[in-house]
């Protein structure tokens, strides 16, 4: 399985899904989340609103969440199902 990547709806992060093939007898899936950072890109309006809202309501910006679109969620489900077959 090739690694798959799913982008947050606001553009802040990417979720990667990798199948670990180092050990043959078990199936293991690695889910990793990477921040895009803001140094070399423009933040989307939606991303700015999310940050502001999170800070206003909780006092903290979030670093550990990703929101997938319905389309990408369906793709992720198919990817995970395929990976464990
Ligand atoms: Zn985001």
User: How many H helices and E strands in the chain?
Assistant: 2, 3
Strands (E), the chain: 4-7, 13-20, 28-35
Instruction: Say how many domains are in the chain.
Output: 1
Query: Span 38-62, mean pLDDT?
Result: 79
Q: Could you tell me how many residues make up the chain?
A: 85
Q: How far is the CA of 53 from the centre of ligand 1 (A)?
A: 13
Query: Span 51-56, mean pLDDT?
Result: 85
Residue 69, pLDDT > 90, answer yes
* CB atoms closer than 10 angstroms to residue 80: 14
Q: How far is the CA of 2 from the centre of ligand 1 (A)?
A: 24
Q: How far is the CA of 46 from the centre of ligand 1 (A)?
A: 8
Share of the chain above pLDDT 90, in %: 34
0.85 exceeded by pTM: no
pLDDT at 77: 96
At residue 19, what are phi and psi to the nearest 5 degrees? Answer: -95, 130
Name the residue range of residue 67's domain.
4-83
Q: How far is the CA of 3 from the centre of ligand 1 (A)?
A: 20
């Amino acid at each position: 399985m090739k690694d798959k990547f799913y982008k947050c709806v606001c553009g802040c992060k990417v979720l990667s899904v990798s199948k670990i093939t180092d050990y043959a007898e078990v199936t293991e899936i690695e889910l990793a989340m990477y921040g895009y950072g803001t140094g070399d890109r423009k933040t989307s309006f939606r991303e700015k609103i999310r940050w502001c809202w999170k800070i206003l309501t909780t006092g903290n910006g979030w670093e550990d969440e990703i929101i997938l679109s319905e389309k990408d969620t369906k793709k992720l489900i198919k990817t995970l199902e395929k990976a464990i077959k």
